[in-house]
Amino acid sequence: MSFTRMMEGNEAAAYGAMVSRADVVPAYPITPQTELISHIATLISEGKMKAEYIKVEGEHTAMAAACGASAAGARVFTATASQGMAYMEEALWMPPGMRLPIVMCMVNRAMAPLGGLRPDHNDALMQRDNGWIQLYCENSQEVLDTVIMAYKIAEDKDIYLPVAPCYDGYFVSATATVTTVPDQAEVDAFLPPYKHEMYSLLPWDYKRPARSANAAQSRYEVQTAHEKAKEVIEEVDKEFGKRFGRSYDGLLEEYACDDVDAVLMTMGSMTGTVRDKIDEMQAEGKRIGLIKLRGFRPFPSEELREMAKKYHAIAVVDRNNSYGSAGGGVVSMEAARALYTLDDRPLLLNFHVGLNGSDVTLRQVEYMADKTLEAVSKGKVDEVVDWVELHDLGEVL
């Protein structure tokens, strides 16, 4: 039976894995992901979840065991964060190239040494190039729903790619919000049992995908799967919405964007704060809206270009930084590439904020929105990359 209660993001992710009927969970603890895997251990020990939990000795092994289990016919769930994700890095390249539909929550946390235990997106964003699908979630319900949808996307026979539901440590992982765990029968009807068409590691039925002798061809196939995933993510989101009454606008959500001059583009937990401030500012007559980027990989370039035609300015809010980059954070560089081919491009601003888990405050959102609207009225951007936290905005943090 479906039930609803207050639930932290990590517990929601564990329930997501449970109702998705994950068979094998190889995992290693790291803050802020730990509650997720201990919830899973509890669900298994209580007999509510039927899965083999491999208590591995490190993240590198977690992902390797995930690959072996996925190829051998099991639906696999795991999770990591930050330093653990970096330690896993070598193994993280395997599932996309091997076309293994593993689902792993990336519970975002800053990287050492200039970060502590608190969240930013640099850990997941350094996985930019290795072929994982990345979907960023805003609250517990979205985490749970995204885990279920992640399997449906990953196991689509035109996709066969690993999917990472990403969510901010603490702000999502440890913040309880009202969450509904759907009925098992409903999830079963939505998500059929796992059966990989390319793999079987049984002596009486052995198959593995053939790899092209041309490396470029094999890589192009992964690229094509990412392109196709844009459609599949939209379709799965719609189908989920029909069955469960909740959907997330696929890869990009426009919030309060009717009749605005400019938008802030956000990812993850800060989106909630920005929604509130946007409502307030619009009530004051300010023409600012919000785009929530849910899918960072595949990056929704075409959709963003289409939306961008309506706005005079887009401000990308990056909860990450890329040292020595061509300009600004990782997401802003992606957006710049996506928008470059437009004949009539909006102004593009970039804000760094919330690094190492510092709060993204209402005042900071107001500052970013005002700066963006100022650029619109001037017709130019004074400061292309703005480190918001270096300004004294008159608030005590």
Partner 1 sequence: MTEKVFDEYYEKSLMQGGTTCCPGCGGPLFWRMALQALGPKTVIYGDGPCAMCAIRSIKLPHFNLHFSFVADASSGMAAAYRAKGIEGLTLVSSAGDGATGDISFGKVSAAAERNENMLQICVDNEAYMNTGIQKSGLTPFGAWTTTTPLGKEAVKKEIPLIIAQHNVPYVATASVAYPRDLIAKIEKAKDIEGFKYIHTVMPCPTGWRFNPAKSVEVVRLGVETWTWPLYEIEGGVLKLNMKPKQKPIEDYLKTQNRFRHLTEDQIKYVQENINAKRERLLANDGKRVIL
Binding of partner 1 by 54 (CB under 8 A): yes
Note the Cα 172 to chain centre separation in Å: 12
Q: Any contact of residue 246 with partner 1 (CB under 8 A)?
A: no
* Binds partner 1 by CB under 8 A, chosen from 72, 126, 176, 338: 72
- Find how far residue 230's CA is from the centre of its chain: 14
Backbone angles phi, psi at 12, to 5 degrees: -60, -40
Residues 195-224 binding partner 1 (CB under 8 A) are 200-203, 206, 208
Please report whether residue 103 would count as binding partner 1 according to CB under 8 A: no
We find the least distance from the C-beta atom of residue 146 to partner 1, in angstroms, to be 23
Rg (CA), the chain: 21
3-state SS, one letter per residue, for 186-225: HHHHHCCCCCCCCCEEECCEEECCCCCCCHHHHHHHHHHH
- The span from the CA of 82 to the CA of 119, in Å, is 9
In whole angstroms, what is the distance from residue 210 CA to residue 221 CA? 12
86 binds partner 1 (CB under 8 A): no
DSSP 343: S
CB of 171 to partner 1, least distance (A): 32
Binding mask 4-33 for partner 1 (x = CB under 8 A): -------------------xx-x-------
Can residue 70 be called a binding residue for partner 1 (CB under 8 A)? Answer: yes
Q: Which of 7, 91, 232, 252 binds partner 1 (CB under 8 A)?
A: 91
Does 44 interact with partner 1 (rule: CB under 8 A)?
no
Nearer to partner 1, 130 or 358 (CB): 130
The residues near 267 (Cβ < 8 Å, ≥ 6 apart) are 121, 136, 292, 293, 294, 296, 317, 319, 331
Is 73 among the residues that bind partner 1 (CB under 8 A)?
yes
DSSP state of 250: T
Q: Give helix 34-45 / helix 9-19 axis angle, nearest 10°.
A: 40
Binding to partner 1 by residue 323, rule CB under 8 A? Answer: no
The phi, psi pair for 318, rounded to 5°, reads -100, 115
Nearest distance in Å: CB 194, partner 1: 10
Q: Considering only CA atoms, which of 46, 60, 285, 246 is closest in space to residue 141? A: 246
d(CA 167, CA 162): 16
- Size, binding site for partner 1 by CB under 8 A: 34
Per CB under 8 A, 55 contacts partner 1: yes
Q: Which is nearer to partner 1, 60 or 128 (CB)?
A: 60
Q: Does 58 bind partner 1 (CB under 8 A)?
A: yes
| 3-state SS class at 375 | helix
Min dist CB 63 to partner 1, Å, is: 9
Please pick, from the candidates 6, 42, 90, 395, the single residue that binds partner 1 as defined by CB under 8 A: 90
Q: What is the binding site for partner 1 (CB under 8 A)?
A: 23-24, 26, 50-52, 54-58, 60-61, 64-74, 76, 90-91, 94, 200-203, 206, 208
